[in-house]
């Protein structure tokens, strides 16, 4: 074969190979590039333009975090060895500071726990929970700022009845949180919880306000009646370690101090509770100025007003709080408040639950004058009360009257018993010994209560003495029966009752339909 033929064959074969490679590359996506050239990853087209509403929400959330997070601190506390439980009497609700969130330490040695706090003054004052720091050893509180600087903290003061405390670090020019108005918080508002859940510092979560004015019975374990629980309930995710950290609104303002969760496993299960900021500000101010919270007191015992109570009192709907007892010579008594009154407003602000009234009154100092709008005898009246202090009235309010067990409650043969089947209650006459023991002039004694009856449901108890029905005094069982049976189905009436503790109370009761 000639040289020309060989060259022609090689040329044609090479051309065929090149053509084949090009053809294959058009189907297989082969990319020819030189060694060292940049690798191209991801889509080359421009991203979609974000929705303006989502972009605004994204920017707003980031702005809140950027504004507030620098003022939130991590609080570490060294404590003496304690028992495993801090939630006596109510295991469904847990404070975020333990019992589970503690670092492992040798037995019989100190325990170290962690919580959160928020800087409220540039010179080092920090607001947190009482239960975070109350068991700290001397010099056992350490604070870490968001920029990782660490300081020893001094305990300035605590108030266990609001679960709040103030600590201080030796520093200046600190980033300070903006404090908002918790009275403006409404159900449905977007809120953020910022703190150190499970030790994860500077963590922010988001949710909504799911309820207001919650009383979950976790602060006042000793049942003194002084605990103030008017929690803001949210579904922002919080966990052990969030305690003492801020609850923040969309303006970056602190509106609450996170304090407890509803859970069956000591971890977040959907609901958390924060102390309203307006109360927290008052407590913190007093602790800084006076070393303790100077809380105003009316010296009354109160209950919620339900539909039956409202009907019996002549109100058009359930509102206000019902005065169940008034302490003699306390602020309420001096102002003319009487048991059976329904307090509708305090200084023009509606109070529709005991915790709302407690929070409103406690936010004022002893000596302050408050105006009470009261519903009595189906009319609205006004009383002005000069608030007392807990130190003056504490023993009186919590004093328990011992019941004289020396006399028998047994019914004599001469006593008459009448049963009102509609209410499920039986009453009997009382003799002079019972009158003397209960300190009453007239009345009838509840001798029996039927289970699941309207009487039991409304709180009547065996041994109670009923002195009035609908404002009319009763002396005999027949008189009691006559007054009650005048009621039509659906009607309600107020019973004035004295229990074995010698405390007078009112019991609203409705005739079944």
Pairing of strands 369-376, 342-346: antiparallel
Q: Are 372 and 343 in contact (CB under 8 A)?
A: yes
349 inside domain: yes
Distance, CA of 510 to CA of 495 (rounded, Å): 11
Q: 234 and 306: one domain?
A: no
Nearest to residue 192, comparing CAs of 258, 279, 280, 259?
Answer: 258
Nearest-CA neighbor of 274 among 222, 238, 310, 313? 238
Cα angle 273, 181, 197 (rounded to 5 degrees) comes to 35
**Do 73 and 107 have their domain in common?**
yes
Inside any domain, residue 129? yes
Strand pairing class (136-144; 72-79): antiparallel
Q: Is 378 helix (H, G, I), strand (E, B) or coil?
A: coil
What's the token pair of residue 360?
């409103």
Residues 193 and 316 in one domain: no
What tens-digit pLDDT sequence spans the chain (513 residues)? 566 666 566 566 666 666 665 555 554 444 545 556 788 888 877 778 888 899 999 999 999 999 999 999 999 999 866 544 444 434 445 554 443 444 443 344 456 788 999 999 999 999 999 999 988 888 899 999 999 999 999 999 999 889 999 999 999 999 999 999 999 999 999 999 999 998 899 999 999 999 998 887 777 665 566 778 889 999 999 888 899 999 999 999 999 999 988 777 777 778 899 999 999 999 999 999 988 888 888 988 888 898 988 888 899 999 999 998 888 888 999 999 998 899 999 999 999 988 888 888 888 888 899 999 999 989 999 999 999 876 544 332 222 333 333 333 334 434 678 888 889 899 999 988 888 888 888 899 998 888 888 888 888 988 999 999 888 889 899 889 888 888 888 888 888 888 888 888 888 888 888
pLDDT given at position 112: 74
Domain count, the chain: 3
Give burial (CB, 10 Å; 0-12/13-18/19+) of 375: buried
- Taking the whole predicted model, whether its pTM rises above 0.85 is answered as no
Predicted local distance difference test score (pLDDT) of residue 205: 95
What does the block give as tokens for 503? Answer: 């405390």
For the question of residue 426 being annotated catalytic, the response is: no
Strands (DSSP E) contained in 129-270 are 136-144, 150-159, 164-169, 178-179, 190-195, 203-214, 231-234, 246-248, 253-262
For 99, 102, 159, 353, 471, the CA distances from 495, given in Å and listed in that order, are: 45, 52, 38, 21, 8
Q: What is the CATH number of the domain that holds 245?
A: 2.40.10.120
β partners of residue 350:
345
Full domain range(s) for residue 198 = 52-293
Residue 303, both tokens = 């209950």
> Token match 């329904």: residue?
342
User: Which of 71, 94, 116, 131 is flagged as catalytic?
Assistant: 131
- Assess whether 310 and 250 both reside in one domain: no
Indicate the SS3 state at residue 74.
Answer: strand
Other residues' Cβ atoms within 10 Å of the Cβ of residue 199: 14
Nearest to 196 by CA among 94, 259, 118, 115: 115
Q: Which of 71, 116, 182, 243 is catalytic?
A: 243
- Do residues 326 and 504 make contact, with C-beta atoms less than 8 angstroms apart? no
Chosen domain end from 293, 322, 355: 293
Same domain, 77 and 192: yes
- Can you spell out the DSSP letters for 432-470? HHHHHHHT-SS-EEEEEE-TT-HHHHTT--TT-EEEEET
Q: Report yes or no on 32 lying in a domain.
A: no
Phi, psi at 26, each rounded to 5°: -70, -25
**Which one of 159, 163, 235, 464 is the catalytic residue?**
163
- 131 is annotated as an active-site residue: yes
Within a domain: 45: no
CA distance 195 to 240: 10
Q: Are residues 203 and 216 in the same domain?
A: yes
Same domain, 383 and 425: no
Count helices and strands (H / E) in the chain: 11, 30
- Residue 145 shares a structural domain with residue 260: yes
Q: Are residue 347 and residue 209 in the same domain, yes or no?
A: no
Residue 16 lies in a domain: no
Neighbours of 465 (CB within 10 A): 25
Distance CA 48, CA 187 (A): 35
Final residue belonging to a domain, choices 398, 433, 450: 398
340 and 311 within one domain: yes
pLDDT of residue 9: 62
Beta strand pairing call for 93-95 and 388-389: unpaired
**How many residues are given for the chain?**
513
Is 490 contained in some domain?
yes
Active site residue 475: no
Q: Are residues 197 and 117 in the same domain?
A: yes
C-alpha 175: how far from chain center:
28
* Residue after which a domain boundary falls, among 255, 277, 293: 293
Q: What is the CATH number of the domain that holds 500?
A: 2.30.42.10
Residues 213, 117 share a domain:
yes
| 478 occurs within a structural domain | yes
Is residue 423 included in any domain, yes or no? yes
């Amino acid at each position: 074969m000639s040289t020309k033929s060989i060259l022609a064959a090689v040329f044609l074969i090479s051309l065929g190979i090149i053509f084949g490679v090009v053809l294959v590359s058009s189907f297989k996506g082969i990319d020819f590039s030189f060694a060292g050239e940049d690798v191209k990853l991801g889509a080359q087209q421009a991203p979609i333009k974000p929705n303006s509403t989502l972009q605004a929400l994204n920017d707003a959330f980031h702005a809140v975090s950027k504004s507030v997070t620098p003022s939130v601190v991590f609080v570490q506390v060294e404590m003496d060895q304690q028992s495993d439980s801090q939630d006596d009497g109510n295991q469904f609700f847990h404070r975020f500071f333990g019992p589970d969130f503690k670092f492992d330490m040798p037995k019989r040695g100190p325990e170290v726990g962690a919580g959160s706090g928020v800087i409220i003054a540039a010179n080092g004052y920090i607001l947190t929970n009482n239960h975070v720091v109350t068991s700290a050893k001397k010099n056992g509180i350490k604070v870490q700022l968001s920029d990782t600087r660490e300081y020893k903290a001094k305990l300035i003061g605590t108030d266990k009845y609001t679960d709040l405390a103030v600590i201080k670090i030796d520093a200046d020019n600190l980033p300070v949180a903006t404090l908002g108005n918790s009275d403006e918080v409404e159900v449905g508002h977007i809120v953020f919880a910022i703190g150190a859940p499970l030790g994860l510092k500077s963590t922010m979560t988001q949710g909504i306000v799911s309820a207001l004015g919650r009383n979950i019975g976790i602060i006042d374990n000793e049942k003194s009646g002084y605990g103030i629980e008017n929690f803001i309930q949210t579904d922002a995710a919080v966990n052990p370690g969030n305690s003492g950290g801020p609850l923040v609104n969309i303006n970056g303002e602190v509106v609450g101090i996170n304090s407890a969760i509803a859970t069956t496993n000591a971890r977040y299960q959907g609901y958390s509770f924060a102390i309203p900021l307006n109360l927290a500000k008052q407590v913190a101010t007093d602790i800084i100025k006076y070393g303790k919270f100077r809380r105003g007191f009316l010296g009354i015992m109160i209950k919620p007003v339900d539909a039956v109570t409202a009907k019996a009192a002549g109100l058009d709907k359930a509102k206000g709080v019902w005065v169940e007892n008034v302490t003699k010579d306390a602020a309420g008594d001096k102002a003319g408040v009487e048991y059976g009154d329904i307090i509708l407003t305090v200084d023009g602000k509606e109070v529709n639950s005991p915790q709302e009234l407690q929070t409103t009154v406690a936010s004022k100092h002893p000596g302050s004058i408050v105006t009470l709008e009261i519903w009595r005898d189906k009319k609205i009246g006004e009383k002005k009360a000069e608030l007392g202090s807990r130190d003056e009235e504490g023993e009186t309010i919590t004093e328990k009257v011992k019941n004289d067990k020396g006399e028998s409650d047994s019914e004599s043969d001469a006593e008459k018993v009448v049963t009102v089947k509609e209410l499920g209650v039986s009453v009997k006459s009382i003799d002079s010994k019972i009158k003397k023991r209960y300190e009453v002039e007239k009345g009838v004694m509840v001798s029996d209560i039927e289970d699941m009856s309207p009487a039991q449901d409304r709180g009547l108890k065996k041994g109670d003495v009923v002195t009035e029905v609908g404002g009319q005094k009763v002396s005999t069982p027949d008189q009691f029966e006559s007054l009650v049976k005048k009621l039509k189905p659906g009607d309600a009436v107020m019973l004035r009752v004295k229990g074995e503790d010698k405390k007078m109370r009112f019991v609203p009761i409705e005739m079944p339909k």
